[in-house]
Structure formats: C-alpha cells, structure tokens
Amino acid sequence: MNYSELIFLRTRAWHRRKRAMWLPVGIAGMFAVTSLLLGCGASKDEAETTPTVTVQAATVERKTIQSKVTAEAVLYPHNQVAIVPKVVAPIKRFYVQRGSRVHAGELLAELENKDLEGALTENQGGYEQAEASYNSAVQSAEQDLKVAKQQFDAAQKVFDARETLYKEGAIAEKDLEDSRIALTQARNQYDLAQKAYNLKVAEGQLTAAKGKTASAQAQLSYTKITSPIDGVVTDRPFFPGDTAPSGMPILTVMDLSKVVARAFVSPQQASELRVGDAATVAPGNGEDEVLGRVTVVSPAVDPNSTTVQVWVEAANPGDKLIPGSTVHLSMVAKTVKNALVVPAEAVLTAPDGKTTVMVIGQDQIAHQTEVKTGIHEDAEEQIVSGLQAGQQVATVGAYGLPDGAKVIVTKPAAQPAEPD
C-alpha cells in the first residue's frame, strides 16, 4: 500500500465518524425547522380563513308586510249593452251622439213606423169588434138562460099540481103525462141555455183579438229605441235614413262609472286570492293608481292557457280608465302585521332549500344563521323564526360570505339624480 492509498482510507473513516456524530443533530434540526414552517403556515391559513370583507347591512324590522299577486289585465266596462232593434226599418232620427251621457229609459232613436201604426189601428178595430160581439153574446145567453129557467120552473109547477090532482082522482092520467112531457122539454131547453152560457167560442175570439192588438202595440214600441242602462254612448255606426241589417246594433252604451280588469294568473297564484281582496289598478297612461277589489276568481282552469281568470272591479272617476286598455294589477293575497322583515337580498337559499342569513354581531363577525321565511313583498321578506328585531344582517356582499368572517359595514353609494 502506498502513501496515497493510506491517506484516502483515513480521510474516508474520518468522514464516517463525523456523519455519525451529526446525524441526530441534523434530524432534530430538521424537525425544528419543519415545526417552525408548519407553525407559520397554520397562522397564515388561519388569517386567510378569517378575512375582512366589506358588506352592506340592514336592520331587522317589525312592520306590516303583504303578499301580492301581480298581473297584466285588460279593462272592460262595468256594464255594456249593444242595442239591436227588434224590427227592421229605416232610422227616422237619432237623439244622441257618440259621447252623449244617457240614463236608463231615455229615448235614443226612432225608426220609421207608419206601417206599424196602421197595423195597430187595424188590430185595435178587430179587438173592439170582438169585444162587442162577446158582450152581445153574453147578453143573449143570459136572456136565453133566464127565459129557459122561467119556463122550466113553470112546467115544474104544472107537473107538481097535476100529480097531486091525479092522486086525488081529479084528472085523467093523460093530463099528467102531458105535463110530464112539457116539463122534460123545459128541462132540456134549460140545459141547452146553460151550455150556451159557457161562451168559450166568444171568449176565444176576444182573447185572440186582444193578443193581436198587444202584438201590434209591441211592434210599434220597438221603433222607439231607449237606453236600458245609465252610461255613455260609445258607438253609433249608422245615420238617419239607414236601415240596419237584422241583428246589427245601431247604438252601444257603456256604464263607465266602474271598470272591471280581467287578468289570467297561474293556478297557484289563484289559490291565494279570495273575493273581496284589496287590489290596485295602475293604468299605463301615467294616471294615478286606483283602488279596487277582487270580485271573481274563476273556479276552473282555462284548458287552453292552463291559467285562471281573475276580475278586479274599481271605481272610474272622471272616466280616466279606458275600456280595452292594458293595466297592471296588484292584488293583496295576505297581510301580516307586526312581522319581522328583512331585505330579500339578505336571504340566502342553499341547493337543499335551507334558507339562511348572515347576522353581523357586535364584534363585526358574520354568523351564518338558519331562518324560516314567510311571505314576501317586492324586495322584502318575512322572517318567521331565527331572527330578532334590531339585529343586523348582511345584504350586498352576503352571497358567498364565509361563516365567521370579519366584516366592515358600508353605506350604499348615493344614486345619481335623475335628469329633469
């Protein structure tokens, strides 16, 4: 072994002894460094799980909240009548124009009626003749009945007297039989007179004449067109001298003192409504809302649209609500007084349907709190359980906010003023 090889073997042995001596120190140092690093990492994670988040908040309030059903609707008049003449004849004159206000029973127009006046006169003459004939027949029948009764009574007396004499042997049997025959004849005449007094034929003729006269009077009255309701004339499509086709209205009158808004809502919404519920009607022409009430909730679903028709009736002062126009309905389905209310944006709904809010404590920490909701109105939600009045809940920024997060509450940014 030369000198170089000896130096190499001694150096390797020295390195082995050094490695064995520092190995425990190296492992302990490694654990120490690792622990230090882990400790630093935990503090960093902890800091990241409790960030400071800027949110907006609202206070839980007690107030009245209403559940409303809204829908678009078409306006109809409270009452409407299209006046169709019952006789076809030229229009003689009109007494109203479009826009004229009329009252029930007011004369609106007249049709030509000379021929009907003549027919009425003729039928009145026929009735008077039938009445005279009837009265004459009654008098004649009464007289015949009276005479027949007298003759019958006289024949009865003669027969009774002769029967007594015959029993006493004062007269012959032939005289008794003659009086019996005379009594029978008188009785038959009296029976005939009673039957004639029935006067069915004469009564029938009089009744027929009376009916014809009444019919003629009715036909003549149909030429005078009157309004069956109070209202406004909204249509008058013909002019004097025109002959309206059969079944065609010559005037339309609408009662605009009230209007009826007819809307279609879902069956679920309809189930929340009741007749008498308060409602508002908002016209699309910029006019103020008008108060109304629900008057009809159809009990059946329309098979074509699978919706339910609902009617809302409202007063129409000044005729500002125009039939045929579209309006917005808001119907109050339920009212809860002294309810706990929060902004709807504060309520968070999980995929499983659970609802929560982020309550901001005095320490400015957000706490996820499960709540039970009730009805909602516009941008507000009723809280049935889970909150107390006066608590603060996060609104803007609540979505995705972790439980236990540190928050800073800011006020909403001021909205820019609308230009004039």
Q: What is the CATH number of the domain that holds 354?
A: 2.40.420.20
Domain membership flag for residue 31: no
- How far apart are the C-alpha atoms of 300 and 297, rounded to whole Å? 9
Token look-up 């439980």 returns 403
Domain membership flag for residue 151: yes
Give the Å distances, CA to CA, from 75 to 280, 296, 413: 13, 14, 41
Same domain, 243 and 103: yes
Q: What integer pLDDT is reported at residue 34 of this predicted model?
A: 36
The CATH number linked to 98 is 2.40.50.100
Which two structure tokens, joined as six digits, stand for 27? 């492992």
Q: What integer pLDDT is reported at residue 29 of this predicted model?
A: 35
- How far apart are the C-alpha atoms of 58 and 410, rounded to whole Å? 11
pTM for the whole structure? 0.59
Compute the chain's Rg from CA coordinates: 53
Q: In the listed set 335, 365, 399, which residue is the last one of a domain according to the structure?
A: 335
Give the pLDDT of the chain (420 residues) as one tens digit per residue.
443 343 344 444 444 444 443 333 333 333 333 333 344 444 444 445 556 888 889 999 999 998 889 999 999 999 999 999 999 999 999 999 999 999 999 999 999 998 888 888 888 888 888 788 778 777 777 787 788 888 889 889 888 888 888 888 888 888 888 888 888 988 888 888 777 666 666 777 788 888 988 988 988 899 999 999 999 999 999 999 999 999 999 999 999 999 999 999 999 999 999 999 999 999 977 778 899 999 999 999 998 889 999 999 999 988 889 999 999 999 998 889 999 999 999 999 988 889 999 999 888 999 999 999 988 888 888 999 999 999 999 998 888 888 888 988 887 755 555 554
Same domain, 209 and 121: yes
Same domain, 401 and 371: yes
- How far apart are the C-alpha atoms of 315 and 331, rounded to whole Å? 16
Domain membership flag for residue 3: no
Q: In the listed set 301, 335, 369, which residue is the last one of a domain according to the structure?
A: 335
Domain membership flag for residue 62: yes
Same domain, 277 and 348: no
Same domain, 152 and 295: no
Same domain, 121 and 215: yes
Q: What integer pLDDT is reported at residue 39 of this predicted model?
A: 43
Say how many domains are in the chain.
4
Domain membership flag for residue 350: yes
- How far apart are the C-alpha atoms of 344 and 27, rounded to whole Å? 59
Same domain, 399 and 346: yes
Could you tell me which residues are beta bridge partners of residue 226? Answer: 107
Q: What integer pLDDT is reported at residue 24 of this predicted model?
A: 38
Same domain, 121 and 164: yes
Domain membership flag for residue 385: yes
Domain membership flag for residue 196: yes
DSSP 12-62: HHHHHHHHHHHHHHHHHHHHHHHHHHHHHHHHHHHHHHS-EEEE-EEE-EE
Q: In the listed set 175, 206, 221, which residue is the last one of a domain according to the structure?
A: 221
Same domain, 216 and 230: no
Same domain, 258 and 271: yes
Range of the structural domain that residue 120 is part of? 115-221
How far, rounded to the nearest angstrom, does the alpha carbon of residue 100 sit from its chain's CA centroid? 29
Q: What integer pLDDT is reported at residue 107 of this predicted model?
A: 96
Helix 173-196 and helix 114-168: axis angle, to 10°?
160
Same domain, 90 and 186: no
Which helix (H) or strand (E) segment is 270 a member of?
helix 267-272
The CATH number linked to 265 is 2.40.30.170
- How far apart are the C-alpha atoms of 168 and 173, rounded to whole Å? 11
How far, rounded to the nearest angstrom, does the alpha carbon of residue 302 sit from its chain's CA centroid? 14
Same domain, 286 and 275: yes
Domain membership flag for residue 104: yes
